[in-house]
Every structure is written in structure tokens, then in C-alpha cells.
Amino acid sequence: MIPSTLRGREVTLDVSRPLVVGIANATPDSFSDSGERSPATWIRNALACYAAGAAIVEVGGESNVSNRPPVTAAEEIERVVPVIAALVGAGAPVTVDTHRVETATAALEAGASFVNDITGFRDPQMVELCAERGAGVILMHTETPPKTPLWDDSLYPGGVVEHMLAFFEERLRTLAAAGVGKDRVVLDPGPDFAKTPRQSVEALRGLDRLVGLGPPVMLAVSRKDVVGALTGRRPRDRGAGTLAALAAGLRRGARLLRVHDVEATVDFLRVWEALEEDVEVPVELRIGEEIRREGPAGTLDPA
């Protein structure tokens, strides 16, 4: 049974229907964007994510690109805290993408509600911090440290899905023992992290089994390498492939969609829910004449 409620620090979200998690990079070296260096631009982009319909905005201050050196905790904090503060001031629930306890602490103090730790919360201090602060956690499956690519066709001899199930069951027990219940946990199968494209596909095909563990499942496949490998497209041209992956994940029970293009995903969700989830379409619904057709040279022509 898919849960209906997700709790974070000072926030409770309804996950009975899918939610969009907008990605707000506060980095100059993201794999998928132009690497804006201006904090003002990072804040503007983050607020735009929220305005476009993201139910949660995720702020990250370090790219996981493997050919870039790691940043210090101080630099990461300097990048993310102003963005988080601006989002919280606008009323947005925020998750911080970090594996450093110092950064997570600063982010929670700035008003973040969730921590997304791409090491899978292996650091007991990170678990203790989230338990003490009442933060929600996004628990990602991986078998490699940050910024360390690993493509090993023999890594999961019993199958990726069986490995993920064992991994999540063990981590959920650890979190529960610390006081972090399942209603404060999101599961992320971690496509691309210690997974070849074939292994990522296998992991995503097994989402329905992860749903059976209890917490809501997040689909973090936006512009990922697995989509690029399947389509032969560069990151910014992976929108269509991303939407295809979202549709497959939703059908298997995913409830949080972590994406770069919030506006397109919100549109996709409206149509998907109308067709797949029996969301009521008003009898009186009609298309406005101003958007019904394109005019000459791409201008709108209602005539």
C-alpha cells in the first residue's frame, strides 16, 4: 500500500498523489546545466522551480561529476544556505543534497525539512542529526562513495533489485532504531550510482517491489546517464526520455519525481493523472482560443 503522508522537519506532505521535486543546483559544474556561478542566479532559479509547481525544492552545493574536485563543507554551506533561506521565505519545503553532516546541520538551521544523503546514510552522525532535528530523509541506494564512478557488470550477482531490498531493509532498521520512522523516509533506487545502464533499467523495473517496503519511492532519473545511453542524447536533450521513465515509474508506484524541468513535468503529470489515475476532468473544460493554434512564424493566432 502506497503511504499517503510524508513528514519532514516542520512539514507534512500528502503523497497520495505524485509530487514534483525540483532540482536547484547551487554549483558551477553541474553535469546538466550551464554552471551559473552567481548566487543571485541560483536563488532565482530555485524560486522559479517552486513557482512552476514543485512541491519540494532540492538544493545541492556540490556536483557529483567525477572529474571535478570535491568542495569543502564551508564552501558547500556558503552556496546552499542563501538559496535555502530564500526558498523557506517563499514557503517552499526544501531538501538539501549533501553527504556532509556540517552542511546538513547548516541547511536544517536555515529551514530545510529533508536531507538527501547520496551515501545512503552510512554515517551514524548523519542519522543522529536527522533523528534529533526531526528531519525527513531521502535514502538512496548506492555502493560507491561520492564522485566515484563504478560500472561493474558482476556487482550484483543476485540481481540489482534483491540487493536494493536488502540494502533498504537494513538502513530502515538503522533509521528506526535512531527514531526515524518510515513516515519520514523516502526511498531512491539511485539510477546511475554504482549501476551500468542495464543495471539502472533493472532497478527501475523493480520499483513496485521497493514500494512494498512502506516509504514512498522517489524517481530521480531526470537527464541521467541511463536515459542518455538509451537515447544517445546529451543531458539537455533528454527531456523526452526522462518523461518516458517517469511514466514507467509512476505505473510502478513512484510518488516523488525529482526533475530539472519542473514546468514540463507538471504538464506531464496533469495529463497522466487524467488518463491513468481517473482524476476528474470538469465537464465544462474547454481550451482557450488564445492557445488553440499557432499563428504565422510561431505567434499565437486565435482567429
Q: Of 21-35, 41-55, 277-291, which gets the smallest average pLDDT? A: 21-35
Q: Can you give the pTM of this predicted structure?
A: 0.93
Mean pLDDT of 58-86: 91
For the stretch 249-282, pLDDT in tens is: 999 999 999 999 999 999 999 999 999 988 899 9
Question: What pLDDT is attached to residue 65?
Answer: 75
Per the DSSP assignment, residues forming a β-bridge with 96 are 59, 115
Question: What pLDDT is attached to residue 38?
Answer: 85
Mean pLDDT of 168-193: 98
Q: Of 26-30, 31-35, 45-49, 161-165, which gets the smallest average pLDDT? A: 31-35
Instruction: Please identify which of the residues 100, 223, 224, 255 carries the catalytic annotation.
Output: 224
Bridging pattern class, strands 11-14 and 136-140: unpaired
The backbone torsions φ and ψ at residue 298, rounded to the nearest 5 degrees and listed phi first, read: 85, 0
Say if domain 5-298 classifies as CATH 2.60.120.260: no
Q: Residue 121: left (phi > 0), alpha (psi -120 to 50), or beta?
A: left
Residue 64 — pLDDT band, cuts 50, 70, 90? confident
All structural domains of the chain with their residue ranges: 5-298
**At residue 152, does pLDDT exceed 50?**
yes
Q: What is the mean pLDDT of the chain?
A: 93
| Active site annotation includes 258 | yes
Give Cβ neighbours of residue 29 (< 8 Å, ≥ 6 apart). 35, 63, 65, 68
Mean pLDDT of 204-221: 97
The backbone torsions φ and ψ at residue 201, rounded to the nearest 5 degrees and listed phi first, read: -60, -45
Q: Can you tell me the distance from the alpha carbon of 189 to that of 160, in angstroms, rounded to the nearest whole number?
A: 10
The percentage of residues in the chain with a pLDDT greater than 90, rounded to a whole number, is 86
**At residue 303, does pLDDT exceed 80?**
no
Instruction: Please identify which of the residues 195, 223, 238, 258 carries the catalytic annotation.
Output: 258
**At residue 234, does pLDDT exceed 70?**
yes
Here the contacts of 226-229 (C-beta below 8 Å, separation 24 or greater) are 226/191, 226/192, 226/195, 226/197, 226/200, 226/201, 229/197
